[in-house]
Every structure is written in structure tokens, then in C-alpha cells.
Amino acid sequence: MQMRVAGLSIALSTAMLATALGAAAPPAQGPPGAAPPRLQGKPNLSGIWQALTEANWDIRAHQARPGPPQFGALFAEPAGVGIVDGNEIPYQPWAAAKQKENFARRWELDPEAKCYMPGVPRATYMPFPFQIIQGTNKIVIAYAFASAGRLVHMDKVEDSPADNWMGWSRGRWDGDTLVVDVTSLIDQTWFDRAGNFHSEALHVIERYTPAGPNLIQYEATIEDPKVFTRPWTMAMPLHRRQERNAQLLEFQCVPFSEEMLYGQLRKGAN
Amino acid sequence: MRLIFVSAIALFALCAAAAPGSAHHSFAGEFDVDKPIKLQGTITRVEWINPHAWIHIDVRKPDGTVESWAIEGGTPNTLYRRGITRDSIKSGMVINVDGYLARDGSKKANGRDLTLPDGRKLFLSGTGANEQPNQR
Amino acid sequence: MRHDIRSFATAAALVLLASAPLGAQSFKTPWGDPDLQGTWTNQTLTPLERPAEFAGKPVLTEEEARAYEARLRQQNNADIRTPGTRRDVTVAYNDVWWDRGERIVADRRTSLIVDPADGRIPPMTPAGQARAAKARAANAAFGDNPAAPEDLDVYSRCIIRSALPRLSTGYNNNYEIVQTPGYVAILQEQIHDTRIIPVDGRPHLAGTVRQWLGDSRGRWEGDTLVVETTNFTDEARGSTFRDATRNMVLVERFRRVDAETIDYQFTVTDPDTWTRPWTVKMPWNKVDGLLYEYACHEGNYGLANTLRSARAAEKAAEQK
């Protein structure tokens, strides 16, 4: 009887000790693709996500457009209602003209064609998935396209020593919203395939707000006093990829861009 | 004695980390071992990029004309970890380049040995420079 | 009852003793998995294979180790010139741009390979040797004049740097591990890749899907993360590890030893390449710093320059 009592006491005291030490029981793992439970008192945004908009073709409202004619409808561009609040990008007059030039030469100039990293916020709404891995003081956002990736520092870090294709991201919580402040962005990325662009002064503030287990409301504020007359915002939902075997696969497009970039330097090309 | 060390063992040591089937970046394909070059020029701009930084300099020739040259460096990430920043070298600075000419005949060279006019190695002067990368 | 109170106190004490081994620090995430998170480097001076001078000597003494380190640092010092040699061109820049490491591994082994016991890569199979010879011949055929980007290796093309498993290279040997329930992510500075390792027991991808960094699946064995990676690709030069085939199986083991160290080991198995599996052990050491972005393809002037040089050399040869 004394043994049984002792055994019961051990079980009880283990549980009490565990609770006292604040050790959480490992959260129940649902099927792959299910929403994970809250982590360290905050929403856990981990998972594979994707935007379902036509924004990568043009972030403003636009009608359907032809693609390169030899491919018929294959690479034509669908219409979209746009993701820009007020449907207006407040360009300075010189910049509005430059955007039109970019558009006219977009198949030649778009950095996406060269498999260059897409920058922020374009990476969010390209029509390909990305994966968030929310750690204890860092959050990884890994994009399928061009194996682009970002590390969101939730702890205090120094400034970036350089300007980067994917910027330098510092995150904090505002209630249940993850706010990411992105600086040190280079000027060579576009917002979309329509030639909407920015300078190296670009500053992006992202807000990721969970709106249900499989939905994040995403908002980005764009500031760039060299190009725009005022800050502007864009917003769209992000949907969890819920396939049973959902996995972020490589979209390693560097080899696919080599003909475009180096074809004229190939032996026998000239 | 030092030369014997270097020629006998160093080549092996340098290749030690390389997988036999895959060549490193083929510097010898880009720059000509038979065309060493020495230049002195004024920095006009620096591309702090990977995989190689590029230092652009204006070289004044004896006849007074100015040529623009692009000098290839290494990865800036290593410099950042030594406390070297983009402010460490600025437009207007004069540097000496001892390297090898680009094989395609363009005005490019690799910056095999970059020094200041007083002989000090580039980057190893000034605030925070010459720090060792993170010790373990 | 008074029995309960006494038993409770004893039991509580026993539980405390059982869960906190004296002298050990426990690294656990808030959800109870072993914690490997942080910024790490696998940089070391220790060579992969035991050099001939240390044959039969698996470990150095303290004194030998310090002398060996000094000698290696001297050999690696890129400020030392050998003007007019091919080596001088390939060393390429001053020592300030390089980070080949300061120390050999802390346990003073003379090779990173721990199995086989001679510290050398096991013999290749005849098929493996033939494949390696073919690769060498193809390289030699174009020499310094590649016909097209695909003649060059994945490193020069900025596709991956390099195939898994990654050994330490001349610089930027940095990794960031981030964990969440069900996943371990390993960011590699070169080339901004994120290895995402599910630890939920799901099966590998179909064999028809090949990836440059393969397909990784992890599981916890006590305190050790065991990662199995398959589904490699052989579609480009250098896309496999040391002339292995796409069917190589990589098993890595990560165990947090202390605040500053991860005990990292890998075993590679490829019966079409090596006569037996072989195992490497090299610590990952904590970095007091951050990963920086390494955009490669975006700034890869060198590839265009190399192709342009090749075309110029051919033109010059024609005109002779």
C-alpha cells in the first residue's frame, strides 16, 4: 500500500512540477496542414501559405492582356481587381512616366524573368507558396520562387551592413498581429510584372493578422519618398495550403534564366 | 623556406575542401595568368554585392587620359563580419591594384593584392578593421 | 494522511533528481523538443581526410595541434603571393576577404572522417571511378573555355553552393537553425537556401521529384535530430556530393552538446559510388553574429565574363 501511494504521489508530483516549471506539454500535432496551436502566448503563423490574387501581373485593377503572341493564351495575363487601397499608386510625375516605360519593356526588364529574388512585398503575392517557420526568437519565411528567403528578427539586431534583395526584417507583436518592419531593400526589384517600381529608400511595414485557423489577413504599407508622393497600402488574404502532403518545393529557376541572360555568349551563337 | 611550404603543401590544403568533381569558380577562366597588371586609380564607386564585390576605379594614364576599370574582390559578407563597412572605402580614395587582366580584353582585373599608396593592405586600416572573424 | 505528505516530498525530490542530471544543462524549446536554435558555423581547419603525414595517428597532442594550426593558417594566408602562377590567380584576393578558420576541431582529430578508421574516403566502386574519370575528362575538354553555362558547375552558376552535405569552404560557412513544432529549418548563408525538415514522420517525396538540396525528413532520437535526405539530382555538374549518384542517402545527426556546440555528424551511403558508407564528425560552433544575405545569381558577372573570355580566346585562336 505504501508503494502504491508513493507511485501515485510520484505521478502527481511530476505533473505538479511540470506545471510549476511552466513546461507546456507538446502541442497535439494535427494532420499535416492543420493550424498549429498558439505558441508562447501568441498565434503560431507556421505553415505553408499562398495568396490567391492576380497581383503579380499587376497590383492595380487591370483587364486581361495578351502574352508573347507565339505562346497563344499560355502566358496571357488575367484581369484582376487589384490589391492597392484606393487603386492608386501615388507616383511622383517622373516616376509615373518611368513606370509606363517599364511596362512597355516588361518582358525584357522584369527581374522575375531573370529569376532574381523578388523582394518584399512582391514575394508574398507571387502565385507560388511560401512557408513560415515561427521559432522562439526568429521567424523564417521561405519562398518557393528562386529559393528566396527572409529571416525576421524578433530579437534586437544591428542594422544591415548592406542593402539586400529581400531586405532586413525586424518583427514584433501588436496583439495577435505580427508586424514586420523591412528596411535596407535594394532598388532593383519590382512590385509586379507591370513595371511598378521603387527606389532604395523603400520602407515596407507588413502586418500579418490571423483571421481563422487557415487565413491570414496581410497588409503592407509602402513608403518611398524618392518615388511616391505619400505612403500607400495594399492588402490581401493569405490562404493555408491544406493538402494532406503539402510541402514547399524548390522553384530553382536560375538554370531556366540562363538562356535569356547568357544565350548570346554561348559558343556558336554569333 | 616559406616558398617551399607554400608550393609543396598549400596547393593541397587549398583544394582540401573542394569536391573533386566540381571546380570552384573558375578564376583562371576569367583572368589571364600570363597578363599580370599593376594599376593605380581613384575609386568612383563600389558594388557591395555577392558573389564578388566590384571596385570601380578611374586610372589616369601617362598621356592624361582617364580609363575606367572594374576590379573584382571577394565576398563583402566576410568584410562585414570583420567590422568593415561600406564607409571603409569611399569614392575619391586612391588604391593600388596588383592583379591579373581579364581574358576578354575588357578593362577588368581581379584585385589579387589591393593596397593603399603607403603600402598598407586595403581594408586593414581605420575603425574596426583588421578584426578577426568570430572566434570560437 | 501523513503517509501522503512524506511520500510526496520524497517523490518530488526523486523527480527533481531524475529530470535534471547533475552538471548538465538542458536545451529544450518551450514545447519540449531539444533546442538546436541559433547561429552556427562549421568552419574548421581540420581536413576531411587524414593527411599522409598523420597516417595511423587519429588524434594530435595539444602541442602538435597548436603547431599544425599555425602551419595551416600560414598556408592559407592569401596575402602570400606566388606571382605568375595559376595558383596566384585562383587564390584571387587578399586574406581579408577569406575566412578559412583559425582552429582545428576541439578534440584534435586529424581528419573529419571518423569511419573508416583510417580517416580516408573508402575506395570508389568501378562505376564510381568511371563516372569520376568521365567528369574530369569533360572538365579538361573545355579547360578555361566553357561553351555554355551548363559546362560550368553549380557553384559557378550560382545554383547551389554546394551539394549536401556541406563541408566548410573558404568563407560564409554560417547557418541559422529555427524550430517550430513539427519542423526544423536550417538556413544556409550560401546561397540563401532554407532546408525545411519536417519531423512529423511523413514519407519522402516521390522518386520522380528531385531537388538540388534533396528531400529531408527528420525524427528525434532522444536528444538527437536525425535527418535523412534523399531525392538528389544529377542533372548538372557538381549537383551531387563528390561524384555520387542521385541515389545517395545522406543521414545527418545534430545533438546540442552545450551552449556553444552542436555535435554534427553525417553518413553518406551510395553503393554505386563508394564500396561502403563513410561518416564525418565536425562540430557546429556558436557564432556571435548574424547571417547576411548572399544573393549570388543576381550579381554573377563572373559567369558572363568567363563565357565572354572563352569566346574571345576562340576568336583569337581562329585569327592566328
**pLDDT grade, residue B2 (50/70/90)?**
very low
Number of structural domains chain B divides into = 1
Please name the member of A16, A29, A137 whose beta carbon is closest to the beta carbon of C200: A29
Give pLDDT, residue B5.
40
Q: Is there a domain that residue C83 lies in? A: no
- A contact test, residue of B30, B45, B46, B49 with most A CBs within 10 A: B49
Portion 146-185 of A in contact with B at CB < 8 A: 161-162
Put simply, whether the predicted model's pTM sits higher than 0.95 gets the answer no
| Chain B residue with minimum CA distance to C238 | B22
Domain hosting C186: range is 113-305
Interface contact flag, B5 C296, Cβ < 8 Å: no
Residue B51: give its domain's CATH number.
2.40.50.730
Number of structural domains chain C divides into = 1
Mean pLDDT computed over A64-89: 97
Residue B73 forms contact with A (CB below 8 Å): no
Q: Look at strands A168-174 and A149-153 and give their pairing.
A: parallel
| Chain C residue with minimum CA distance to A16 | C12
Give pLDDT, residue A18.
44
Q: Is there a domain that residue B24 lies in? A: no
Residue A267 forms contact with B (CB below 8 Å): no
Residue C320's contacts (CB-CB under 8 Å, 6 or more residues apart) are none
Rounded to whole angstroms, the Cα distance separating A67 from A113 reads: 13
Portion 18-47 of B in contact with C at CB < 8 A: 19-31, 33-34, 36, 47
Mean pLDDT computed over A176-182: 98
Give pLDDT, residue C320.
78
Interface contact flag, C149 A2, Cβ < 8 Å: no
| Chain C residue with minimum CA distance to A44 | C180
Q: Is there a domain that residue B23 lies in? A: no
Q: Is there a domain that residue B4 lies in? A: no
**Residue C15 predicted with pLDDT over 60:** no
How far A134 CA sits from the closest chain C CA (Å)?
6
Measured between beta carbons, the chain C residues lying within 8 angstroms of B30 are 302, 305-306, 309
**Residue A254 predicted with pLDDT over 90:** yes
DSSP string for residues in chain B: -HHHHIIIIIHHHHHTTS-TTS----HHHHEEEEEEEEEEEEEEEEE--SS--EEEEEEE-TTS-EEEEEEE---HHHHHHTT--GGGS-TT-EEEEEEEEETTSSSEEEEEEEE-TTSPBTTSSSTTTTPPSPP-
Tens digits of residue pLDDT in A15-36:
444 444 444 444 444 555 678 9
Please name the member of C144, C260, C288 whose beta carbon is closest to the beta carbon of B29: C144
Q: Is there a domain that residue B21 lies in? A: no
Determine which of A41-45, A152-156, B16-20, B62-66 has the lowest per-residue pLDDT on average.
B16-20
| Chain C residue with minimum CA distance to A40 | C30
Q: Is there a domain that residue B30 lies in? A: no
**Residue A140 predicted with pLDDT over 70:** yes
Q: What percentage of chain A has pLDDT greater than the value 90?
A: 86
Residue B114 forms contact with C (CB below 8 Å): yes
Please name the member of B13, B27, B114 whose beta carbon is closest to the beta carbon of C75: B13
Taking chain B, what is the end-to-end CA distance rounded to the nearest angstrom?
31
* ipTM field: 0.91
Q: Is there a domain that residue C186 lies in? A: yes
Tens digits of residue pLDDT in B20-51:
333 455 788 899 999 999 999 999 999 999 99
Q: Is there a domain that residue B5 lies in? A: no
Give pLDDT, residue C183.
98
Measured between beta carbons, the chain A residues lying within 8 angstroms of B76 are 161-162
Interface contact flag, B27 C92, Cβ < 8 Å: yes
Q: Is there a domain that residue B41 lies in? A: yes
**Residue C1 predicted with pLDDT over 50:** no
Domain hosting B44: range is 35-136
Rounded to whole angstroms, the Cα distance separating B56 from B46 reads: 6
Tens digits of residue pLDDT in C188-213:
999 999 999 999 999 999 999 999 99
